[in-house]
Amino acid sequence: MSRLKKILFISGALVVFLTVYVVDVVRHTVSVDLEGALYLREGAIIGAFFLLYLFIRGERLGKPIAIPKSIGKLLMVSVLVILVGSMVVFFGRSPAGEGEGEPPYFAIVHLLSVVFGLTLGLFSINTLLTIKDLLLHKRRKGTKRNLVVYVVLLMCASVLSFPMMSGELPLAPTLLFAASVVMIVVNSFKQNWIVYLSRREKLYSIGYSALLFLAFIALNLLTTQSPVDQVISSFHYPLKTFAQLNAIFGAVYFGMAFISTLFHLPTAEVYERKQSELTSLHNLSRLVTQVFDFSDLVNTVTAMTLEVVGAKSAWLELIKERGANGQVAVEVVSNRNISHEMIEVITMDSESSLRRLVLDSKRALLIDDAGSDRRTRHIKKQGVSIGSLLSVPLVSQGEPIGFLHATKDFEFGFDQDDIDVMTTFADHVTIAIENSKLIEKSLKRERYQQEIMVAQQMQKRLLPQRLPYYACLDIAAVSEPSMEVGGDYYDFVKLDGDRLGVVVGDVSGKGVSAAFYMAEVKGIFQSISKLCASPRELLLRSNESLTESLERKAFISLLYGIIDMQKGTLTVARAGHCPMIYVSGLDARMVRPSGIGLGLTNDRMFEEATQETTLELRKDDLCIFYTDGINESRNHEGEEFGFDRLVQAALGSRFQSAENIKQTILTEIRNYTGDSSYGDDMTLVVIKWLGHLEA
C-alpha cells in the first residue's frame, strides 16, 4: 500500500469520528433533532470503520505470518480494550437519551464513549483479520467459503440491529445472530496451523490461546454491563452486535485452539525432527551447486548427519581403491565427536566387518544394540561404548563409493524413519561428492588449459617471427601442431661470410614437455651455431649438451644445413631426422646423410654415426625440410601420404614461388587426408635457390 493511501484512510476515518463527536455535543447542547441525521451519522461511522479496515488489511497484506507473535499481539490489544472498558464502567453510564437530564461533564464522557467505540471497533476488525489468517493457513477446499458465509451473516446481523430496522423485522436479528454463532463453531474446527508449529511455538500458543479465551469471555461480559452497553449503543448500535459476535468467535476459536494444541503437543518433537530433516536435505541440495571445496563439503556432511538423525557421532569414509579379492581400502575423510582410533575399532577388518556387510548388501546396516550384537561384540571388549549404530552406503552407478556412519549412546536409538532419511541423505551426499570431484577435475583441466596456453605462446615465440631475406633465396615455412602445443621446431641463423643456417627438428612427445625441450634446442642452436664451422660439428656439440638433460625415453631428431651464398652450396647433417628432398630440374632425390637422434647415445657412438653431405646448387633448385607429420599424414583408410606423393607434389610445383610450393604441398596433404585430423605435428620449410650473389 502506498503512503498516500495510508494517509487518506487514516485521516478520512479520524475526520469522520471527530465530526460525529462535535455534532453529537452540539446536538446535545442545543437540543436539535434533525430528521434523517441519525441515518447519515450511522452511515458515516460505517464508512469510517471501512476505511480503517482497508488500512489494517493493507498493512498486513504481503507480510509473512508469525503465528505465535500474531496471537500475542492480539492478546495485548484485548487487554487494552478491557482496560478502556473498565474505565467506562468506572466513570459511569453514558449520556441518556434526548430530553433527559445529563451530567454536566457530558462532553468528557461522550469523548470516552467515542474512544472506546473506536478502540472496540479496531479490535474487532483486527480479531477478524487475525482469525482469517489462521483459518486460511494451509487451508482446504471450503475453508474460505465458510469464512465468507460468516462475514456476510455478521454484517447482516450488525446492520439489522438498528432499532428502526429490528422493529420492522423483529426475528431477523435474532436468526442472523444464531446463524452467525453456528458458522463460528463450524469455522473454529479449522486449526491446521497448529500442526506446523514447533514445540516452543506450541507452548507459546497454549498460553496465548488460554489467555485469549478468558479475555474474549471477559469482553463479552463487559459489553453486557449497563454503562458499557449504553456507551456502545449511543456511539454506534451495529458495533455492539459486530463486537459481540467477533468476541464469541474469538472465545470459541481460541478455546478450541487451546485444546487442539494440547493434543498436538506430543507430536511436536516428530514435526521438528521432520523439519530438521527437510532443512538438512535442502541445505545439502544447495551444497551440490554451491560448495566447491571437497574438505568443506565432507565436513558439512558429517555435521548435517548429526542433525538429520540426532546422532551423537558420525564419520564419512570414501573408498580409495579396490583389491582383486574384493577388499577395499578406505579413507576417513571427515569425523565428528569420534576419534580415528575408535573408528578403527568399530570397523576392524574381519569377515563380518561393518564395511564388508554394507559393501556386499549395498543397503543400510542397523545395529540396535552394539554391546550384544555378534557383529559388533568386539567393540565392548575394546572399551568402546556405543549404544546403536547405523551405516549407509554411498552408491554411484550401482557401485559403493563410500560409507556414512552414525552412532548414538543408547540402544535402539535408530528407527525405520532414520534409515529412510539417512539413505536419502546418503544419495544426496553421493551426488554432492561426485559433483565436487567433477568440479575438481574441471579446475585441473582449466589449469592445464592455462598451462597449454602459456606453452603455446612460448612455442610461437620460439619459432621465427620473420623469415630471413636474401636476394638469391626464396624461403617459405610453416609449422602446425596436432595438439595445442607440438614438438616440431624450425629456425634460421645468419652466419658470417654470407651463410645461412637452417634447422628443422622434432622433439619426441607432445604437449608442454615437448615445448620445453624445444626451447632448450633453440637455446643451444642460437648459442653455438656461430661457433661451429660445419653442421656435423653443431650436431656433435648439441648431443653433448642434451644427453645429460633429456629424460631417459626422450630424444630429438634434427636436420641442419648451411647455405653458402658465395659458393652456391648446401651442406647438410642429419641426426635421425627425415631426409631432405632435393629437386634439381626434373630430378628429385632424398638427401640422407647417416646419423642418429640427439640424446640417444654417448658422444663417441654419435660421432661415429654422424656424417654430412654437400650439394652444389643450381638455379631454381628446391630444398625441402620437413618433419614426419608431413609424410605420415593418413587418410580415412589409414594409408600414409608417403615420400612419393611428397616428391611428386614438389616436382609438379617446382617452377612456382616457395610460398606457392608450400601451399601446394599442404593442399595435397589436406585433400589426401580428407576430414581426418593430423596425427602428428607438421613442419615444412621450402627453400628455392635463385642463383649466385653478384660480387
Alpha carbon distance 566, 692 (integer Å): 6
Alpha carbon distance 524, 515 (integer Å): 14
pLDDT at residue 165 is higher than 80: no
State residue 94's pLDDT score.
43
Contact 41, 23 (CB under 8 A): yes
Residue 246: Cβ-neighbour burial (10 angstroms; 0-12, 13-18, 19+): buried
Q: Which residue has the cell 471497533?
A: 121
State residue 97's pLDDT score.
42
- List pLDDT tens digits, range 373-387: 888 877 877 777 888
CA torsion through residues 634, 636, 638, 644, sign? negative
214, 422, 517, 618 from 480: Cα distances, Å? 91, 56, 17, 30
Note the CATH number of domain 464-689. Answer: 3.60.40.10
Q: Which three cell numbers stand for residue 622?
A: 628446391
Average pLDDT over residues 451-471: 84
Q: Which three cell numbers stand for residue 582?
A: 632435393
Alpha carbon distance 553, 598 (integer Å): 12
State residue 105's pLDDT score.
55
Instruction: Band the pLDDT of 100: cuts 50, 70, 90.
Output: very low
Q: Which three cell numbers stand for residue 321?
A: 581403491
Alpha carbon distance 688, 653 (integer Å): 12
Instruction: Band the pLDDT of 288: cuts 50, 70, 90.
Output: low
187, 409, 572, 662 from 469: Cα distances, Å? 100, 87, 20, 17
Nearest alpha carbon to residue 386 among 374, 398, 370:
370
Alpha carbon distance 314, 355 (integer Å): 15
- List pLDDT tens digits, range 108-145: 767 777 888 888 889 999 999 999 988 888 777 778 89
Contact 305, 334 (CB under 8 A): no
Alpha carbon distance 245, 7 (integer Å): 30
- List pLDDT tens digits, range 68-93: 888 999 999 999 888 887 877 776 54
**Residue of higher predicted confidence among 512 and 648:** 648
Contact 560, 616 (CB under 8 A): no
Q: Which three cell numbers stand for residue 98?
A: 434526548
Average pLDDT over residues 610-637: 92
**If DSSP codes are grouped into helix, strand and coil, which group holds residue 479?**
strand
Q: Which residue has the cell 500500500?
A: 1
Instruction: Band the pLDDT of 357: cuts 50, 70, 90.
Output: confident
Please report the DSSP string for 43-108 in residue order: HHHHHHHHHHHHHHHHHHTT----HHHHHHHHHHHHHHHHHHHHHHHHH-PPP--TTS---TTHHH
Q: What is the 3-state secondary structure (H, E, C) of 275-291?
A: HHHHHHHHHHHHHHHHC
Average pLDDT over residues 160-166: 68
Q: Which residue has the cell 538429520?
A: 308
State residue 98's pLDDT score.
40
E strand or H helix that includes residue 404: strand 399-408
Nearest alpha carbon to residue 590 among 538, 628, 632, 625:
625
Residues sharing a CB contact under 8 Å with residue 90, sequence separation 6 or more, in sequence order: none
* DSSP bridge partners of 612: 573
Nearest alpha carbon to residue 590 among 634, 646, 669:
646
State residue 556's pLDDT score.
92
Its CATH class, for the domain covering 291-440, is alpha beta
Phi and psi angles of residue 398, each rounded to the nearest 5 degrees, phi first: 85, -5
State residue 575's pLDDT score.
94
For the chain, give the mean pLDDT: 84
Alpha carbon distance 512, 530 (integer Å): 29
**DSSP type of residue 579:** P
Instruction: Band the pLDDT of 451: cuts 50, 70, 90.
Output: confident
**DSSP type of residue 640:** B
Alpha carbon distance 391, 316 (integer Å): 10
pTM given for the model? 0.52
